C-alpha cells in the first residue's frame, strides 16, 4: 500500500500548512532516504500533514501509530490499523516504542486525555532521531472549551461527540493536567533542551450542527467573561513545531 492510499483517522482536516510546510522542508532535507513517522494518538488528524501530497511527489514515508491501551483507542486502532505500517498499543509510559528511530513524531488529540504528560512526552521525544521534529497539537487547559469539556457529564459529552463526530470512536475521558498549556509546554521544552521552532493557536469548534455549535459558542463566551479572560475563548488548541537538537549536549539560550 502506498502512502497516498492511507486513510485518515479522526476529524478530517485538509491542508493545515502549519504542520505540512515544516514536514515538507524536513523531507526535502532528507532526499534519497525514506522518512519514518510516528503518530501518537489514534484520532490524530493525519491528513493535515500533507503526506498524500508528498507521496504523489515520489517521497516515501512510513507511518506507525501508538496509543494507550483503553477501549476507545483500541476500537479506533482496530478500525484503522490497515492504514499503518506498525501499530503499538500499551501504557504510553512503558509501551515498546523504539528509541531514536523516527524522523517525525506527530502527537495530536492525546495530551489532554492522558496522565503523566511529561513522562509521555519523554517517551515520544526519545523515539525521535537527533534533529527530528515533534509536531504537537493539544487542547489548552486554560481555554473555556477545556473547562467545559471537564465539567460536562459523561452522557452529555458522549451525545455532543456523536453529533460533531458521527461514526468516530470516542469520546476519551478529559484530563488536562497542569502541563497541558502554553507555559507548561514551553517549560518542558526548555528543561529538555528542545527548540520550539513555531507555535500557534487554533479555534477548532465545528460549525455543524448549527444549533449545538451556537450553544457551545455562547457557553464558552460566558466562561471567558466570568473568568475575566483567565480562560480564553479565542482558541481551544495549541500547535507547536519542536525540533530535537542534533547534539544532545546543546543548550538552548
Residue ranges of the domains in the chain?
A: 3-138+175-204+237-243
CB 161 within 8 A of CB 149: no
Q: How confident is the model at residue 3 (pLDDT cuts 50, 70, 90)?
A: very low
Please say if the pLDDT value at position 49 is more than 50. Answer: yes
Over its C-alpha atoms, the chain yields an Rg (Å, rounded) of 18
Chain mean position to CA 237: 10
Q: Which residue has the higher pLDDT, 142 or 75?
A: 142
> How many CB atoms sit inside 10 A of residue 167's CB?
6
Q: Is omega for the bond preceding 171 within 30 degrees of 0, making it cis?
A: yes
Answer yes or no: are the C-beta atoms of 8 and 134 closer than 8 Å: no
pLDDT at residue 206, as a whole number: 78
CATH topology for the 3-138+175-204+237-243 domain = Rossmann fold (3.40.50)
Which stretches of the chain are DSSP H helices? 17-29, 51-56, 71-80, 117-126, 144-151, 154-164, 182-191, 210-226
Q: What is the mean pLDDT of residues 46-70?
A: 92
Find out whether 107 and 137 touch, Cβ atoms under 8 Å.
yes
How far apart (Å, rounded) are the C-alpha atoms in residues 122 and 192? 9
Residue 122 has pLDDT above 80, yes or no: yes
Beta-strand relationship, 195-202 and 102-108: unpaired
| Residues 245 and 129: beta-carbon distance below 8 Å | no
pLDDT band at 248 (very low <50, low <70, confident <90, very high): low
pLDDT bin (cut points 50, 70, 90) of residue 79 is confident
| pLDDT tens, position by position, 162-188 | 988 888 889 999 999 999 999 999 999
pLDDT in the model for residue 100: 94
Average pLDDT over residues 98-117: 96
Amino acid at each position: 500500500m502506498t502512502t497516498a492510499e492511507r486513510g485518515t483517522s479522526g476529524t478530517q482536516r485538509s491542508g493545515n500548512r502549519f504542520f505540512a510546510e515544516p514536514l515538507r522542508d524536513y523531507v526535502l532535507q532528507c532526499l534519497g532516504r525514506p522518512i519514518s513517522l510516528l503518530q501518537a494518538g489514534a484520532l490524530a488528524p493525519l491528513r493535515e500533514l500533507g503526506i498524500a501530497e508528498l507521496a504523489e511527489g515520489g517521497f516515501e514515508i512510513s507511518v506507525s501509530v501508538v496509543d494507550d491501551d483503553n477501549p476507545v483507542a483500541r476500537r479506533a486502532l482496530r478500525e484503522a490499523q490497515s492504514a499503518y505500517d506498525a501499530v503499538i498499543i500499551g501504557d504510553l509510559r512503558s509501551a515498546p516504542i523504539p528509541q531514536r528511530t523516527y524522523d517525525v513524531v506527530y502527537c495530536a488529540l492525546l495530551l489532554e486525555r492522558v496522565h503523566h504528560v511529561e513522562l509521555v512526552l519523554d517517551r515520544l521525544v526519545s523515539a525521535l532521531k537527533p534533529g527530528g521534529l515533534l509536531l504537537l497539537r493539544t487542547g489548552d487547559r486554560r481555554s473555556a472549551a477545556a473547562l467545559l469539556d471537564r465539567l460536562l457529564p459523561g452522557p452529555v459529552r458522549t451525545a455532543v461527540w456523536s453529533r460533531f463526530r458521527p461514526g468516530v470512536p470516542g469520546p476519551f475521558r478529559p484530563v488536562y493536567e497542569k502541563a497541558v498549556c502554553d507555559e507548561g509546554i514551553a517549560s518542558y521544552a526548555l528543561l529538555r533542551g528542545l527548540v520550539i521552532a513555531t507555535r500557534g493557536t487554533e479555534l477548532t469548534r465545528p460549525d455543524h450542527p448549527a444549533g449545538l455549535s451556537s450553544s457551545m459558542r455562547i457557553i464558552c463566551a460566558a466562561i471567558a467573561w466570568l473568568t475575566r479572560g483567565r480562560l480564553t475563548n479565542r482558541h481551544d488548541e495549541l500547535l507547536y513545531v519542536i525540533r530535537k537538537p542534533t547534539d544532545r549536549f546543546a543548550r538552548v539560550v
